[in-house]
Amino acid sequence: MAKFLVQSVFALPSELILAGIVQEGTIAIGMKSEDLELMTIKSIEKFNKKVESAETGSNVGLKVNRLKKTATESALFNKILEFK
């Protein structure tokens, strides 16, 4: 399990870009969160380079797939999401 603090949200039609900091654990492609809505990490970028995972303290951008659009972008701002 990993925790991710969302600092910025950019909405695309079927995806979201979440920029923020890994608060705890390691985040990797394919991990899922069900905090506000079901989402899956499709890719991770760290300083404009695609990476497979990111550790605690890393500033990254996550491209997530939105399976259900139940949460607004503002509801995700400054939220700590748990990914498994």
- In contact, 6 and 78? CB cutoff 8 Å: yes
User: Looking at the DSSP assignment, which residues form a beta bridge with residue 82?
Assistant: 3
Torsion angles phi and psi, residue 75, rounded to 5 = -70, -25
Topology (CATH level 3) of domain 2-70+78-83: Elongation Factor Tu (Ef-tu); domain 3 (2.40.30)
Residue ranges covered by each domain of the chain: 2-70+78-83
13-62 confidence digits (pLDDT tens): 778 899 999 999 999 999 999 887 788 999 999 999 999 999 999 999 99
Helix (H, G, I), strand (E, B) or coil at 9: strand
Angle in degrees, CA 65, 40, 11, rounded to 5: 35
Q: Which amino acid is at 16?
A: L
**Cα atoms in the 13 Å half-sphere on the side-chain side of 14:** 3
pTM above threshold 0.85: yes
pLDDT at 70: 59
